Amino acid sequence: MKQSSPPLLVDRLRRAAFEGIALLVWLVAIIGFLALVSFDADDPGWNSTGRQEAHNLIGLSGAWLADVALSLLGYAAYVLPLWLAHLGIQIIRKPWLAEDWDPLIPSLRALGLLLLLICTSTLGALHFDVDALPYGAGGILGESLSSLMHLQLGQVGSTLLFLTGFLAAVSLVTGWSWLSIMDELGHALVEAGYWLWDRVQPVEVDDEPYEEAGSTAHLASSRRALSAPVKEEVVEEEVVEDVDEPTSSSAGWLSRLKLPFQHRDETEDDVIDFDDPQKVEPRLETAAPAPMADTAPKKRQPAAESPTSQAHSESLMPHSAATMFDETSDAGDQSATGDPQSQAQHALPWTTETSAEAPASDLQVWTVDRLQPAKPKTLASGEGELPALGLLTPNKRGQASYSADELTALAELLQQRLVEFGIKAEVDEVMPGPVVTRFELALAPGVKSSKITNLAKDLARALKVPAVRVVEVIAGKSTVGVEIPNSQRAMIRLHEVLSSAAFDHARDTLPLALGQNIAGEPVVANLAKMPHLLVAGTTGSGKSVGVNAMLLSLLYRLDPEQLRLIMIDPKMLELSVYEGIPHLLAPVVTDMKEAANALRWCVAEMERRYKLMAAMGVRNINGFNDKLAEAQKAGAKVADPLAAEGDDAYLEALPYIVVVIDEFADMMMIVGKKVEELIARLAQKARAAGIHLILATQRPSVDVITGLIKANVPTRIAFQVSSKIDSRTILDQGGAEQLLGNGDMLYLPTGASQPLRVHGAFVDDDEVHRVVEDWKLRGEPDYIDSILSGDVEAASLAGLEAEGSDNKGSAETEDDLYDEAVAFVIDSGRASASAIQRRFKIGYNRAARLVEGMESAGLVSSMQSNGQREVLVPRSHDSG
């Protein structure tokens, strides 16, 4: 306490002293100004002894002061009180306490003031003829210099010389950059132009679905045409600023710096090939919304016959009758991984594409916003096949990130700070993006990149930013990336990503618009390829917004015939908004018992689909639907091989089923480990059956994200978390603790070792409501009651039991096997389905069911986080 008070007191006194000095300086400025404006040539002073009394507002002293100043400098004398006012502000701001303060600065400022006085007075003398002042408009200084220079350079030459000197002097004294001022002025002018354009040309917002929005496409192209010259102008100005940068030691990277608003080379490849590491790295050139006419979503299946929704829902119901496809279902699963059709698609389940003709997205954000009102004009209409993009809020004006000056300063500061930490590194390239700017560092030989990673927190502190993320490996480069948050963060709206070429061209079956990468390119992932997704992050990190954005991307692409949803929302908060959309297979589930039933139903449906696929001789749901479509084209109906005898049921195309669990930690807590098993079972082989899981949790701990879940859910997204341990739990590596929150995420695609940083697309509750309302107007959901009631469980279990007993032929034999299996488990002390499977040479499903039976009987524990079960019955019990 005692120790801390003196510095505090000294600090306060020092601040008071500075404020006192500043006030004094302002007082002098005001006195000087008043003395100058009230100058009267007849007042007593340097040049006049006319009258005794001075009329000057500051009295005799003012009269003398003004006389001397105006005689020496002419009107340039007014510069002095202005400069004093500026000096007062500087004293208050104390720039010399800033870390980048250089003692050379006051000398340069003083030099600037001298130059300013010289140039102003000379320009005054050159151009104004005034009698009111004792020595003309330029005073003695200006008059003498002007007559001298007039002889040498003439009127025009002298004017140009001193005007240039004047501009340079203003920059030196104030630190203002004329180029920035011109830039700002240009922006203001362009804004005014757009404002006017808005007034004279009312904008039609696309209230038609994509494919019917030809007029909007026209509008979009005319907007682009309008925006093009503006873009050129901005690029030019930015580049000039770069070139003029005088003292940068980072000139190397500056020449490579790609600023926003840059044109893309139209000959470049548009689609990033993720097999090619060179191309995986985000490029700065960004994609813009595609013309709306091109964004027409194609239906997966040409609906030759439009089935009634009742018939459709029945096709989803698991049948219990057939018992003949036990092993084939597993075989189907394995073979599905080698499906040539799926191989023909992207190698990794995500795409980022850029449009060849597209202008940079920042510019697009900027111009479109100027042309489009911030609020969507389209209301839910239920017209068209899919919702109109106009239901979503378009982007607000893109905020500028760092200027070239600031980037230079930041790069130098970064290098300097690293040197202070004992690391020699040079900024090699800078990539400004919408949310962060990546500085790529070339490290001196022998410097380990992990050293920088360990310094991430210290660097953030030293650079005065909330967080710094270090990217140790940048594919195809020898540099290390340091991602520093922008001073102003751009908001990325779902509208922007959904209207991008990447989303439009993505032939993904289940496209998820995630957001933009660090270079501002849209990132669209394919849930069908993932095939399941785990989303985790601390509360408030943007998970729910992220999940909403994913769901809306699906709802913007697929109708209920193509996609069905099961939503589980233990918090009764986030997903209930979707209640009533026709895609739902069941009302949004909030009761956890019902949630477990829903998962069981999914398992049964998966098994049913495997049997159907086996019967059709296809490997996955795409093959199944294609075959069915072929048959329908030929005018044939395919009988349901699983239908009960005498029942003339026919097969229908199978929709994808996406199960979204918003907080599966709660579910695991309430229902227990059973959920983990169900999820694992579903995750293991649901891909080929077209059933996909999105699991979200705000508790990234090992008891929630267990080994079993991780092993089965290979694609993960981590939003901001509080510790490196949490990040490791989700991604098996650190990094998520260095994120910025608000939708900032790390996306780890299946099989990738390095996560991709994505700034999540934002979508607010109103937008979700609008899309939901739009879908509700198109149709009502056709719920399958048995999903929640659990009735179907009996059917499915019966089916599964029959399937399991298929090897042996009857249920009785299975009963016999149960006793034997119990004996084996207790003897061996191994309660594992695979051990039973090997020992009794039965199928996995049957073995797993035997173990489940033992669990229900309390003989073995439920599955633990390491995937093992404990035998709860001692051996003596068995022998006794």
Residues at the binding site for ATP are 537-544
Three-class HEC string of 274-299: CCCHHHHCCCCCCCCECCHHHHCCCC
Shortest approach of ligand ATP to residue 161 CB, angstroms?
52
Of 338, 396, 420, 841, residue with least CA distance to 623: 338
Of 872, 878, 810, residue with least CA distance to 846: 810
Shortest approach of ligand ATP to residue 548 CB, angstroms?
8
545 near ligand ATP, rule: CB under 6 A:
yes
Nearer to ligand ATP, 111 or 573 (CB): 573
609 near ligand ATP, rule: CB under 6 A:
no
Beta strand ranges found along 416-553 (DSSP E): 425-432, 436-443, 469-471, 480-485, 511-517, 522-526, 533-536
Side chain identity, residue 282: P
Considering only residues 156 to 195 of the shown chain, the ones binding ligand ATP according to CB under 6 A are none
Tokens 């800033």 correspond to what residue?
A: 98
Q: How far apart are CA 140 and CA 151, in angstroms?
A: 17
- For the annotated binding site, the residues are 537-544
Q: How far apart are CA 661 and CA 695, in angstroms?
A: 5
Region near ligand ATP per CB under 6 A, out of 140-148, 399-407, 539-547, 845-853: 539-547
Nearer to ligand ATP, 250 or 697 (CB): 697
Nearer to ligand ATP, 526 or 541 (CB): 541
Shortest approach of ligand ATP to residue 705 CB, angstroms?
15
Strands 563-568, 533-536: pairing is unpaired
| Among the listed residues 499, 544, 597, 805, the single contact to ligand ATP using CB under 6 A | 544
540 near ligand ATP, rule: CB under 6 A:
yes
541 near ligand ATP, rule: CB under 6 A:
yes
Nearer to ligand ATP, 493 or 846 (CB): 493
Region near ligand ATP per CB under 6 A, out of 90-98, 532-540, 555-563, 598-606: 532-540
DSSP secondary structure letters along 166-181: HHHHHHHHH---HHHH
Describe the crossing of helices 59-73 and 104-127 by its angle, rounded to 10 degrees: 80
Q: How far apart are CA 852 and CA 859, in angstroms?
A: 10
Neighbouring C-beta atoms of residue 461, cutoff 10 Å: 12
Considering only residues 472 to 511 of the shown chain, the ones binding ligand ATP according to CB under 6 A are 491
Residue whose C-beta lies closest to ligand ATP: 743
Cα 19 to Cα 33, 82, 340, 561, 829: the distances in Å are 21, 18, 76, 72, 81
Nearer to ligand ATP, 149 or 535 (CB): 535
Nearer to ligand ATP, 136 or 537 (CB): 537
Nearer to ligand ATP, 214 or 540 (CB): 540
The residues near 335 (Cβ < 8 Å, ≥ 6 apart) are 619
Give the pair of three-digit tokens for residue 456: 């991430």
Give the pair of three-digit tokens for residue 404: 């070239």
543 near ligand ATP, rule: CB under 6 A:
yes
Q: How far apart are CA 477 and CA 104, in angstroms?
A: 39
742 near ligand ATP, rule: CB under 6 A:
yes
Shortest approach of ligand ATP to residue 518 CB, angstroms?
14
Give the pair of three-digit tokens for residue 642: 């699983």
Region near ligand ATP per CB under 6 A, out of 8-16, 20-28, 271-279, 759-767: 759-767
Q: How far apart are CA 773 and CA 776, in angstroms?
A: 5
Region near ligand ATP per CB under 6 A, out of 2-10, 13-21, 501-509, 535-543: 535-543
Q: In 421-493, which residue ranges form alpha helices assigned H by DSSP?
A: 449-454, 456-463
Neighbouring C-beta atoms of residue 696, cutoff 10 Å: 25
Shortest approach of ligand ATP to residue 118 CB, angstroms?
52
Shortest approach of ligand ATP to residue 577 CB, angstroms?
13
| Among the listed residues 278, 539, 723, 834, the single contact to ligand ATP using CB under 6 A | 539
Tokens 């840059």 correspond to what residue?
A: 262
Nearer to ligand ATP, 423 or 492 (CB): 492
Nearer to ligand ATP, 401 or 544 (CB): 544
The three-state secondary structure class of 609 is helix
Handedness of CA 369, 370, 375, 379 (dihedral sign): negative
334 near ligand ATP, rule: CB under 6 A:
no
Nearer to ligand ATP, 492 or 606 (CB): 492
Give the pair of three-digit tokens for residue 253: 């990277």
**Cα 262–chain centre separation:** 20
Shortest approach of ligand ATP to residue 838 CB, angstroms?
43
| Among the listed residues 32, 74, 81, 537, the single contact to ligand ATP using CB under 6 A | 537
Nearer to ligand ATP, 452 or 549 (CB): 549
Shortest approach of ligand ATP to residue 761 CB, angstroms?
6
DSSP code for 424: -
433 near ligand ATP, rule: CB under 6 A:
no
Nearer to ligand ATP, 66 or 717 (CB): 717
Query: Per-residue x/- marks for ligand ATP, 660-699, CB under 6 A?
Result: --------------------------------------x-
Shortest approach of ligand ATP to residue 492 CB, angstroms?
6
654 near ligand ATP, rule: CB under 6 A:
no
Count of chain residues binding ligand ATP (CB under 6 A): 15
* Distance spanning both ends of the chain, measured CA to CA: 74
Shortest approach of ligand ATP to residue 469 CB, angstroms?
17
743 near ligand ATP, rule: CB under 6 A:
yes
| Among the listed residues 44, 755, 760, 843, the single contact to ligand ATP using CB under 6 A | 760
Region near ligand ATP per CB under 6 A, out of 161-169, 229-237, 266-274, 538-546: 538-546
Tokens 């000379």 correspond to what residue?
A: 122
Tokens 């003292």 correspond to what residue?
A: 247
Strands 756-760, 511-517: pairing is antiparallel
Cα 579 to Cα 535, 558, 694: the distances in Å are 22, 17, 18
Provide the binding-site residues for ligand ATP, judged by CB under 6 A: 491, 537, 539-545, 698, 742-743, 760-762
